[in-house]
Structure 1
Amino acid sequence: MEELPPLLRFRSQAAGGRAPAWLATVLVLLLAAAPAEAQRRKQPQSYAIIAGTVFQETGLSLPGARITVTPLESEGGRRVTKAATGTSNAQGEFAIRVPAGSMRYNVKVEARGFEPAEKEVQVEWDQRVEVFFRLKAVQGAEK
């Protein structure tokens, strides 16, 4: 039988002898697989972006609007991700990351004093999809 390198020599305390050769082989394989698994986990996730601008009925930007992006059912009949939310900035712009892939999403925009609006968008893999909203003021509401 071939002599094992010092690193792979084990002593079984119960039996007083060497551990079986298969145990050393299994440990070597596990140690070799660990860096590959760690590298796989470090790879960045690809994503798509649903972006746009929210305007008031007058054409001015609408900052502070709440945007909710909800995935619609996939062809398999199940949802693959949870809803994502964001807020429009001072220029009324927003950008929300979603997982890359072919998927339909419902984009809903809500702002105090304005009627909510919804649109459906189709995302293909890692593309950026633009969507624009013009919200109507609620009658008698403060802006």
Structure 2
Amino acid sequence: MSLYAIFNQCNFRICEVVGSNVDEVSRAIGYDSRVGSKFLKASVGFGGFCFQRYILNLVYIARSYNLTVVADYWEQVILLNDHQKERFAQHIIKTMYNTVNGKKIVFLGWAFKKDTDDTRESAAIYVVDHEEASNRCSNQCNHSIKAPFISFFCL
């Protein structure tokens, strides 16, 4: 609840300086059916290009109006999301006895959103990139499988 309150306060400050009605903005956010328990589930982190782009726009607007604390808040959202992806990638290595060398890993759900093939800024891409960089892995994509996935083999 406290994070939700801070989220609203940051929105209020931006609305205040740009002349928007914070009640209208809050109401619009409330109309989004994804806001609520079915959307707020722990995961690798958010993916897709929209969230990050929107958040970075908020950072830009806040900085433009000299709202440093608000800009820092939104920047932290991006940093925490990146941290969550890093944690997940490290968790994979840890659960495989601290190495993925010589092991095959398959990622199901390569797209960032369920029932789509949209992979722009997918969290899975970050995780595979991390595994490749730290463990000399080579990508092998099997295109004969219909579901979006990727596998990679670590040398």
Q: Scaled by the length of structure 1, what TM-score is found?
A: 0.27
Q: Higher relative CO (CA 8 A, sep ≥ 6), structure 1 or 2?
A: 1
Please identify the structure whose Cα radius of gyration is greater: 1
Higher helix share: 2
